[in-house]
Each structure stands twice: as structure tokens, then as C-alpha cells.
Amino acid sequence: MNRPHDPGMPDSLSAEVGRSHPHESAVLHVTGEAIYTDDIAEVSGTLHAALGLSSKAHATLLAMDLTAVRNAKGVVAVLTAADIPGVNDCGPIVHDDPLLADGSVQYLGQPIFVVIADTHDHARRAARKAQIHYHELPALLNQEAARQAGSYVVAPMRLQKGDARTALGNAPHRLAGKWTVGGQEQFYLEGQIAYAIPKEDRGMQVYCSTQHPSEMQHIIALALGVHAHQIVVECRRMGGGFGGKESQSGLWAGVAAICAAHLNRPVKLRADRDDDMLVTGKRHCFSYDYDVGYDDTGRITAARVEMLARAGFSADLSAPVATRAMCHFDNVYYLADTDIVALCAKTNTQSNTAFRGFGGPQGAIAIEYILDSIARLTGQDALDVRKANFYGRNDAEGRNVTQYGQKVVDNVIHELVAQLEHSSQYRQRRSAINLFNAASPILKKGLALTPVKFGIAFNVTFLNQAGALVHVYTDGSVLVNHGGTEMGQGVNTKVCQVVAQELGIAFRWVRASAADTSKVANTSATAASTGADLNGKAAQLAARTIRNRLADFAVTLFGGTAAEAVFADGMVSLNQNSMAFSALVQKAYLARVQLWSDGFYATPGLHWDPKTMNGNPFSYFSYGAAVSEVIIDTLTGESKVLRVDVLYDAGQSLNPAIDIGQVEGAYIQGLGWLTSEELWWNSDGRLMTHAPSTYKIPAVSDCPEDFRVQLFNNANVQDSIHRSKAVGEPPLLLAFSAFFAIRDAVASIADHKINPPLTAPATCEAILKSITFIQAAQAAQAAPMTGNG
Ligand code: MTE
Ligand code: MOS
């Protein structure tokens, strides 16, 4: 079952799967040749649109004077909600998300009108000239305020297992508290953009930077009041999506199409960074209210948690995000009696949405915070408390059913963590850090090992389907179209490897084309880390159909049976004959053999009941663990990650180089979320951190100097594509280790006896605050003794 991962040495010379191919567009990326939506050659007559945004967080629109906008230089037209011919909505699940505000505004930054001009600059300048009269209404600016007002975007959700109340009552020890984790801006390098070109017969071609072309097609068709077959949405690649272009590209696609249809001219709508950040939703910030019971070994015996997520003004994907949070509160730990409530607070802020991990990080970090706290209370190393809570290895050990009823049948966390503990020299470094801290009054070091288990599949079963269309041309070259979208994660590279392997030809013979709703219909978003899993399988089936036809045809040339035909190294061999793949294809074409095929895949074995929040929502779990070592300055609150060791379970990796790149990128992105990226709204509800000047994503200088990433030798127990495992999102959770290493460093001030109330992100201010708390708590403990002495 296990096989060493050596990027250079696949199973056989001809194996394309398992090899570290560079990203299919790597050369285009670095030379600047890669075409993003804004680089597409503009059709003559193209106009440019800009959005006019609300300057109030919550208000009724009394009057709009758009005269100055209309009269501004270069302006061709100004449109409002009244000009939308069809449905004014881009909400992916609940239809509460207008493209353009109609009658009222619900957050500061909400689009109210769109102005179309001859240039991008003219459109942007004109958009600022509007005179809008508002009747201001009370605004709920954060999740606590919304909770008090009972304001939610969807009904509260509850997931219960056993009897948490009784089990809490019987627990040997209790720990209750509150905690918060901040949100996060996706900060894709390429901003939101759509370019709509009207076609004959009310048709529309839309180029859009989106993770979900089919959803864009749907929104546009509804907004224009036409059929889906009149709309074609295409995306060759995104300059990053990170969840931010799963549903929220809909606004840009919908508005660009409305403008183009209205004027019957091509229209491009591109957000500049400030507008992009002001308009679109982010990762949900969460507040937690928890109460757990535990025994002397730190093992949790019962848990109750209420998760309060800031959804923003509309539902968007908040319900599925909260569901994933509830389904990841266990992380790698067995929870017996559990009661989880999730509330999606309706606030007058941007509508929060998908972001790498999709609520999973917010669910799992809560239990990690709790375990980290328990360790200080029991006086153990946090790693030992974590281990005491791991899921059982198998049925014999038990403790292997999740709070949502799915049995964990592929648990590798014991072996994986043991291997990492050893390779990272966790225990030796713990001792070394204790010595360092004892001798260093100002600078303090911290260390933490945190594990991850992440469920792979969309919670909602029907989304777990994919299609592909594979063309073999008469020269033997192959073009693959599939339902996935490329955002830098390498799904095209992986799918091309799968197809090359299936046909026994070299990678360079296979090319992926742009995602296109006219080629593969009704696709799911490229999300939930399932892109390569789903589309890889669909493309494999398509390629297999063609191979089988070619094998049948080879029998007519060489005799033997089709099952004996070998496709490898660019040759097809059968019955002691062999022929180049391209030569066989040429002959097959002349013999009228169909050389293209579709393929369709639906992940088996999944079911989910949203009412009881029970079922088998995931196909399998991806696992990983990380050890982070940090140093903090107790006078300034600054922190630095010194060394990171990661071990990640990508199953039989389809492409180790790409997977390691995903692990590194996800870790750094998670590090940003938990240390430097802070979203801040002023009392008017204006997002003040709306540009890189005030919003701090990690820079190269924040990357650990010593960063060791390895893939764990494993094979998926499920029949996933070549027994690989998903890698897109799970490693983001590995950055928990950096946060808990910082908390460990702070706790060292009081000899690890007091729990620092460190909130995330652990900015300099947050670290200083928790240091001040620890020092005050220490002083308070010391004071009575001095007084009595
Ligand atoms: N990697 C890059 N370079 N850019 C991205 O936008 N998005 C992440 C992850 N890795 C992203 C990325 C997210 S949120 C998801 S869900 C997965 O990629 C989606 O792709 P996959 O399913 O093909 O892994
Ligand atoms: Mo990823 S958050 O599922 O797009």
C-alpha cells in the first residue's frame, strides 16, 4: 500500500501520474504570457463599467440624483436596479442578494448603480459624482450586536450527539469560556472581473474570473430574462480565487452582462482593489461560547459549543460554511456527547463567503484552543493532551464515529503525528526552548504541534458530480475540457496527467482548454478541494472510453483481444505488434472510429440529512500535522516564525511538486489569517482595512526561514483518482501551530500555568494584550502573599 514519494521516479517510465510536472502554465505565468480575463484582446467598441457604492451601512434610498454622473466625461449610460430586465439577484442559495440595491442599502459599499463609459478611468471618476439621499437606519455592525437583536440570515442550526448536558454534569473537570477568531480577505492577486460581449439572438459571451462558470451562466440568464443556452461563460484561469470567486463573481458577471445587453455593446467590469475589498465578502469571523468536560488525562468527555458567525447582509454561502464548521469541530478528536449550535448573524457588513477551508478552519481551531487550554490546566504538554483525544485507529479501538455520524475508517493521525514528532525533534526542541526562555527575559520562544483532519466532498451530496470532454485529434494530440476551473492550484496539470496516463502518452501531448459552459454543462464550483478528485475521474473515464475504442480497433489490425492492448510510452502494443499512438489514431480516424468522448463522475457512498445534520457527507479525510516554532518580543508584541515542519497526507500524490506548493501556500495563507491580517470597520460600518496599506497579508519576509514540507506515505482507502487525496484547503489549518506556538511563548512568562486569552489574529496588539493579562494575573497571585508576609 505504501510507496515512497520520489518526484523524479514514477512507478514506470511511462507513468505520468505521480510525477512532479511543473504547472501546465508555469512558463506562461513567469513570462507574463498567460492570459487573464483583463488581458483578453478587447473587441472594438468595448466600454468600461464602474459601480456606484453606498456610503451608508443601513438606509432607505430616498432619492438618487445621477445627473452629474451622466454628464461626466466619457459616460455612455448609467443603470440602476430598474434597468435590470430579469431577476435582480445573485444569491447562490437564498435569493436575498440584489445585484444593484433596490430601495434600501444594507452595507457600506453595496453597489447601487453602474456607470458605463469609454474608459475604465472615466467610469470610475463618474461613479463618485452621484448625489444619493439616504434615510439612515440603525445598523448591526458585528455578530454580537446581531445576536442581541436576533438577526440571522438563516435559521439556527444544531448538531447533537448523545446527551451533552448530562455528560457535562458528570464530568470530572469543566472548562467554559468565550473566544473569537477574525475574518480574512481572500486577496486573490487578480481582482474580480467580467467581460461581456453580446452575441446574436440575445446571446451573451461572458469571460469571467470565476470558480463557478455554471453559476455565472445561471445568474446572467435570470438577470437578462433569457435561457441558459443563450449564455456562454468562459474562464481560462484565475489569478487566485481562494473561495472569493465561488459565488461572489456573480455580482460582476451579472452587472457586466446587464450593461452589455442594455447597450448591445461589449462591456468590461473590473474592480480596483479598494472597491473589491469594500464590496465583496470575506472569511467569516467567529465568536465561540464553549463548555467542555474533561478527565485528569485531559481527555474531553463532553462538549457544548455555540458558534456565532458574522454572515453579513445576505445568506450567500453562510449556511454551508457554518455546516462545515460544525462538522470540523472534532478535527482529529473523538467527541462523545456533543452539542453544537451555529448561528449566522445578519449584519450590515459585506456578505461573507467561501474562503479556503470553508468554515472548516473556524470549526477546528475552536477545539484546538480548548485542548491547548486544558493542557495548561492539567500541566501536560499540549501534544500529549491532543494525543489522548485522537480518534481510535479502528473498530477494535472504537472511538471512531464523528459527531455527525460518519465513521472514520482511514485514520492515520497516530502514525503521521508520531513520524512528525520524531522528524521535527519536537521533544528535544521543547527542552531547548525551556532553557532559552529561562535565560531570556524579553524574547520568548514557543512551540506547538497541531494536527488536521479535513473531510473531502461537498457536504451537499448533489454537488459531488463532474463532467469532462476529451478530444483526440488526428495527429495524436489531445485536448481536455473539464468542469473544473484553474486558479493556480494545478487542477489542469493533474487532469492532463491523468489523461496522459490513461492513453499512455507523454504529458506534452495533452492540453487543457478553458472552462466553458458550452462544453461541459451544469458544473459544480471548483471548491471543497474536490477539483482534481471529481474532474480527474471524469476525464479519466472519457479517456478510457476512447482508449477502449482504440483497443477494439487495434484488434482489427493485430488480432488478439482488446483487453491485452497496452498503451504506454506513446505506443500501443498488442499481439506482438506495436504502433505509435498517433499512427493508430490516424488509422482509426480513417476507419471512422469516434476519437472524442465525454466522461461523467459522481462520488459514490455519500449522503447527508441537513435536518438532523447526520450522514456520510465525506468521501474520505485528508490528514496532516505541523510543528511551528516562534519567537516573540514581550515588549513590542512582535512575533516571528522560526521553523516549520509539515507532514501532509496527499495519499498517492498525483503531483508531489504541486501538492507541496499547495501545502506551503496554504500554510502561509493560514499564517496571515492567524497573525497579521486584521479586518477593521469604523463605527459607521466602513471597512478601513481596504487595501494592502492597512491590511497586512504575509510577505516573503514573514515566511519561516526554515520550512520543511514532506508528504506522508499513504494511499487513499477510497477509490479516488489514482488513490490520491485532496490538498487545496486542508493545509491552511496547519497554520494553527503558529498561533498556538505564539500562545505557548506568551504562557512561558508565567511558567505555562496561566492560559493567555490570546485572540486571533495574534497581531502585535493582541499578543501585548495577552502578555499584559498574564502579568497582571501573576501579580494578583503574588500580591496576597507579599501583603501577608
Ligand atoms: N491555490 C491557488 N494557487 N489559488 C487558489 O485560488 N484556492 C484554494 C485551493 N488552492 C486556490 C488554491 C481553494 S479555496 C480550493 S477549494 C482549492 O484550491 C480548489 O481547487 P482544487 O479543488 O482543484 O484543489
Ligand atoms: Mo474553496 S473555499 O472551497 O473555494
pLDDT digit string (tens) for 725-756? 999 999 999 999 999 999 999 999 999 999 99
Q: Is the pLDDT of residue 6 over 50?
A: no
Q: Whose CA is nearest to atom 4 of ligand 2?
A: 243
Cell of residue 663, nine digits: 501545502
Contact 404, 159 (CB under 8 A): yes
Q: Give distance in angstroms: CA of 525 to centre of ligand 2.
A: 8
Q: Is the pLDDT of residue 292 over 60?
A: yes
Alpha helix positions (H), 243-381: 249-263, 273-279, 318-326, 360-378
> Hey, is 65 helix, strand or coil?
strand
Return the residue matching grid coordinates 480497433: 553
* C-alpha dist (Å) from residue 327 to 88, 307, 330, 583: 33, 12, 7, 52
Q: Give distance in angstroms: CA of 533 to centre of ligand 1.
A: 13
Say how far apart CA 173 and CA 124 lie, in whole Å: 60
Say how far apart CA 203 and CA 588 lie, in whole Å: 37
Q: Is the CB of 247 under 6 A from ligand 2?
A: no
Give me the half-sphere count of Cα atoms (radius 13 Å) on the Cβ side of residue 776: 8
Which ligand is in closest contact with the Cα of 246?
A: 2
Q: Give distance in angstroms: CA of 136 to centre of ligand 1.
A: 40
- Answer yes or no: 664 catalytic: no
Q: What percent of the chain has pLDDT over 70?
A: 97
489 Cα nearest atom in ligand 1: 1
Determine the pLDDT at residue 785.
55
Contact 639, 630 (CB under 8 A): yes
Report DSSP state, residue 520: S
525 Cα nearest atom in ligand 2: 4
Which ligand is in closest contact with the Cα of 668?
A: 1
Return the residue matching grid coordinates 485514520: 411
Ramachandran sector of residue 764 (left: φ over 0; alpha: ψ -120 to 50; beta: rest): alpha
Q: Give distance in angstroms: CA of 190 to centre of ligand 1.
A: 14
- Which of 239, 141, 244, 137 minimizes the C-alpha distance to 688? 141
Cell of residue 233, nine digits: 461563460
Q: Which helix (H) or strand (E) is 358 found in, with range? A: none
List, in order, residues 6 or more apart from 693 with CB less than 8 Å away.
none
Q: Give distance in angstroms: CA of 356 to centre of ligand 2.
A: 5
> Hey, is 28 helix, strand or coil?
helix
Cα angle value 359/361/362 (rounded, 5°):
65
238 Cα nearest atom in ligand 1: 6
pLDDT one-digit tens code per residue, 345-393: 999 999 999 999 999 999 999 999 999 999 999 999 999 999 999 999 9
246 Cα nearest atom in ligand 2: 4
* Active-site residue identified among 415, 502, 729, 765: 729
Say how far apart CA 630 and CA 445 lie, in whole Å: 6
| Residue from 184, 246, 523 whose mutation best tests the ligand 2 pocket (most atoms within 8 A of CB) | 246
Q: Is the CB of 354 under 6 A from ligand 2?
A: yes
pLDDT one-digit tens code per residue, 34-73: 999 999 999 999 999 999 999 999 999 999 999 999 999 9
Ligand 1 pocket residues where CB is under 6 Å: 240-243, 356, 484, 487-489, 491, 526-532, 662, 665, 726, 728-729
357 Cα nearest atom in ligand 2: 2
- Which of 262, 251, 261 minimizes the C-alpha distance to 204? 261
Alpha helix positions (H), 23-182: 26-31, 67-71, 120-127, 143-149, 164-170
- Which of 80, 17, 46 minimizes the C-alpha distance to 495? 17
E-assigned strands of 75-200? 75-79, 104-105, 111-117, 131-136, 157-161, 173-181, 193-199
- Which of 530, 91, 621 minimizes the C-alpha distance to 327? 621
- Count the Cβ atoms, other than its own, within 10 Å of residue 564: 14
Contact 510, 194 (CB under 8 A): no
Q: What percent of the chain has pLDDT over 90?
A: 97
Which ligand is in closest contact with the Cα of 730?
A: 1
pLDDT one-digit tens code per residue, 159-209: 999 999 999 999 999 999 999 999 999 999 999 999 999 999 999 999 999
Supply φ then ψ for residue 332, to 5 degrees.
-100, 20
Q: Is the pLDDT of residue 7 over 50?
A: no
Say how far apart CA 304 and CA 341 lie, in whole Å: 8
Say how far apart CA 235 and CA 231 lie, in whole Å: 13
Say how far apart CA 516 and CA 770 lie, in whole Å: 51
Contact 654, 494 (CB under 8 A): yes
Return the residue matching grid coordinates 494575573: 777
Q: Is the CB of 211 under 6 A from ligand 2?
A: yes
Contact 641, 710 (CB under 8 A): no
pTM of the model: 0.97
Determine the pLDDT at residue 782.
83
What Rg, from alpha-carbon coordinates, does the chain have?
Answer: 28
Return the residue matching grid coordinates 506482438: 576
Q: Is the pLDDT of residue 10 over 80?
A: no
Say how far apart CA 59 and CA 108 lie, in whole Å: 10
Which ligand is in closest contact with the Cα of 324?
A: 2
Q: Is the pLDDT of residue 784 over 80?
A: no
Determine the pLDDT at residue 119.
98
List, in order, residues 6 or more apart from 226 with CB less than 8 Å away.
86, 202, 203, 204
Determine the pLDDT at residue 781.
85
What mean pLDDT, rounded, does the chain reach?
96
Q: Is the CB of 464 under 6 A from ligand 2?
A: no
Give me the half-sphere count of Cα atoms (radius 13 Å) on the Cβ side of residue 728: 28
List, in order, residues 6 or more apart from 81 with CB less than 8 Å away.
88, 98, 99, 100, 101, 102
Contact 495, 248 (CB under 8 A): no
Q: Is the pLDDT of residue 1 over 80?
A: no
Contact 734, 670 (CB under 8 A): yes
Q: Is the CB of 355 under 6 A from ligand 2?
A: yes
Neighbouring-strand partners of residue 173: 294
Which ligand is in closest contact with the Cα of 238?
A: 1
729 Cα nearest atom in ligand 2: 1
Determine the pLDDT at residue 789.
33
Say how far apart CA 198 and CA 215 lie, in whole Å: 19
Mean pLDDT across 691-715 = 97
Q: Give distance in angstroms: CA of 606 to centre of ligand 1.
A: 22
Q: Is the CB of 528 under 6 A from ligand 2?
A: yes
Say how far apart CA 618 and CA 527 lie, in whole Å: 14
Say how far apart CA 45 and CA 265 lie, in whole Å: 7
List, in order, residues 6 or more apart from 195 with CB less than 8 Å away.
37, 38, 40, 42, 46, 206, 207, 208, 256, 266, 267, 268, 269
CB burial of residue 589 (10 Å; 0-12, 13-18, 19+): middle
* C-alpha dist (Å) from residue 513 to 42, 355, 471, 547: 20, 26, 11, 20
Q: Give distance in angstroms: CA of 647 to centre of ligand 1.
A: 19
> Hey, is 27 helix, strand or coil?
helix
List, in order, residues 6 or more apart from 177 with CB less than 8 Å away.
289, 290, 373
Strands 193-199 and 267-270: antiparallel
Q: Give distance in angstroms: CA of 487 to centre of ligand 1.
A: 6
Give me the half-sphere count of Cα atoms (radius 13 Å) on the Cβ side of residue 54: 33
> Hey, is 99 helix, strand or coil?
coil
Q: Is the CB of 356 under 6 A from ligand 2?
A: yes
Q: Which amino acid, 466?
A: A
Q: Which helix (H) or strand (E) is 555 found in, with range? A: helix 531-558
Give, rounded to a whole angstrom, the gap between the first and last alpha carbons of the chain. Answer: 67
List, in order, residues 6 or more apart from 242 with CB less than 8 Å away.
186, 187, 188, 355, 356, 487, 669
Say how far apart CA 766 and CA 759 lie, in whole Å: 6
Q: Which amino acid, 353?
A: T
Contact 332, 367 (CB under 8 A): no
Q: Give distance in angstroms: CA of 355 to centre of ligand 2.
A: 5
Determine the pLDDT at residue 241.
98
242 Cα nearest atom in ligand 2: 4
> Hey, is 277 helix, strand or coil?
helix
